[in-house]
Amino acid sequence: MPGPLPPLSHDAKRAVVLLSGGLDSATVLAMANAEGYATHCLSFAYGQRQAIELDNAAEVARALGAVEQRVIHVDLAAFGGSALTASLAVPKDRATDAMQHGVPITYVPARNTIFLSLALAYAEVLGAFDLFIGANAVDFSGYPDCRPEFIAAFEQLANVATGAAQSGRGHFRVHAPLLRMSKAEIIQAGVALGVDYGITHSCYDPEGQLACGHCDACILRREGFRAARVADPTRYVQKEGAA
Amino acid sequence: MPGPLPPLSHDAKRAVVLLSGGLDSATVLAMANAEGYATHCLSFAYGQRQAIELDNAAEVARALGAVEQRVIHVDLAAFGGSALTASLAVPKDRATDAMQHGVPITYVPARNTIFLSLALAYAEVLGAFDLFIGANAVDFSGYPDCRPEFIAAFEQLANVATGAAQSGRGHFRVHAPLLRMSKAEIIQAGVALGVDYGITHSCYDPEGQLACGHCDACILRREGFRAARVADPTRYVQKEGAA
């Protein structure tokens, strides 16, 4: 059971922000803060091979002044079926256009549905009606649960699924501000809001805190910094990976 | 990562059945089996005070011949907000009509949304498109996530949220066969299918395997057996509770 909530200033509204520790969700947290929300971050230990990202999530929450950050354990690895949770190989050195076709093996079945469901439960306990998620339909068009139709369907579900909505106390909104932004646009927006991307983690297959430089997430991230004309602060395993 | 799946007979279809160990979900499992599905049961250790029900879930799955049963850990108690997961008092000796008003304190925020999300993930890994849930809108009208609108909204979400649906391999269906049945009708249907209700558990506030006899779940269950004219096999803490 959570302890008492920190007091809020007069008209701040609470929001639940899904925070992975990656570049996208860090930017979303900064955006929610900038909109004046008191931000409660939710991160998940779900059996991901890149569990190091949880350290980044805690650091990002602190650096950006979130009200709190919680880590929820939910064992998606028990199901298997994804390169991110099972002993399947993470694809390397794919061209960005090859990432656009089909559902990638790094897709974790129903992951965003599960994460938003848990965010919804937390929002209901907090009395919050705003959920923020860093879903992006441009770079990750192969992930079914990063599309606008998915966000809309979840918002509709939230408003029939909960006691808070049923009792008329409010209307849930799922904010996905990155949905139609390119990686470069996301980085530029985050830099303008003071996000330090050096403390974020994107790599699917890291060695400690070092990024592999060759998985889809590393390639999209590096291309994003290049296109945004922002120096890439990522620490890669190999020098040539950071070129 | 799960081991290899048991082989199926020629045209059996796999289904995921949410199995709490209670009377309702045991009946649903029997119904899914009777419809010819190969049933994969999912149970949750979510911090419920009636965790003893997980023993019942395992026994029910065995007794009814499920293909397998898995227990997934997900810590809903971390959020608080419900008498079932936090140190709030479970209401006792309420009249059944008093249970019909408002959202009960035994409501766990977004529980069925979370459970169906995890069932969806498991179905996607199994290649299944049929989810079974024992939601009931008659006896539990105060639970927002036991209503027909909720089931319909989740089904709609499932069909945009997943790689399986996106790729056109199938269409998800959420089966809630008890939705409009009374407790007595559920019991009669289960008895006809050979369910042994003596191995099911409903009580919100048990002492070991003994039911309290006074919480909403006990009262609805006992009234159900009485109305169905079926002998109540429940073992209660006090003799007078079983009257």
Burial pattern A138-151, b for ≥16 Cβ within 10 A else e, equals bbbebbbbbbebbb
Q: Do B113 and A163 touch (CB under 8 A)?
A: no
ipTM: 0.88
Q: Are strands B130-132 and B68-73 parallel, antiparallel or unpaired?
A: unpaired
Q: Which residues contact B152 (CB under 8 A, 6 or more apart)?
A: none
Give residue-wise pLDDT tens across range A20-47.
Answer: 999 999 999 999 999 999 999 999 998 8
Identity at B176, one-letter amino acid code? A
Does pLDDT of B58 surpass 90? yes
The pLDDT of residue A7: 60
Q: Tell me which CATH code domain B13-242 carries.
A: 3.40.50.620
The pLDDT of residue B196: 97
Task: Report yes or no: B76 at the A interface, CB cutoff 8 Å.
Answer: yes
SS3 category, A194: coil
**Cα angle at B67 between B118 and B161, to 5 degrees?**
25
Identity at A228, one-letter amino acid code? A
Taking the alpha carbons of B189, B195, B197, B203 in that order, is the dihedral positive or negative?
negative
The pLDDT of residue B233: 96
Residue of B84, B108, B118 best to disrupt the A interface, most CBs of A under 10 A: B118
B165: pLDDT confidence band, cut at 50, 70 and 90?
A: confident
- Average pLDDT rounded to a whole number, residues B96-105: 72
Q: Which residues of chain A have pLDDT under 70?
A: 1-11, 98, 100-101, 139-141, 238-243
- Tell me the chain A residues in contact with residue B147 when contact means C-beta distances shorter than 8 Å: 160
Identity at A80, one-letter amino acid code? G
DSSP state of A93: S
Task: Report yes or no: B125 at the A interface, CB cutoff 8 Å.
Answer: yes
- CB contact residues (below 8 A), chain A span 26-45, against chain B: none
The pLDDT of residue A240: 52
**Which among A46, A102, A216, A182 is positioned nearest to B117, based on CA atoms?**
A46
- Domain ranges (residues) in chain B: 13-242
The pLDDT of residue B138: 78
Does pLDDT of B241 surpass 60? no
Give residue-wise pLDDT tens across range B170-180.
Answer: 999 999 999 99
Cα distance between residue A76 and residue A84, in whole Å: 10
Orientation angle between helical segments A111-126 and B111-126, nearest 10 degrees? 170
Q: Do A162 and B110 touch (CB under 8 A)?
A: yes
Cite the DSSP H helix spans in B71-170: 111-126, 148-161, 163-166
The pLDDT of residue A228: 97
Q: Do A125 and B80 touch (CB under 8 A)?
A: yes
Share of chain B residues as helix, strand and coil, in percent rounded to the nearest 5: 40, 15, 45
B90: pLDDT confidence band, cut at 50, 70 and 90?
A: confident
pTM of structure: 0.90
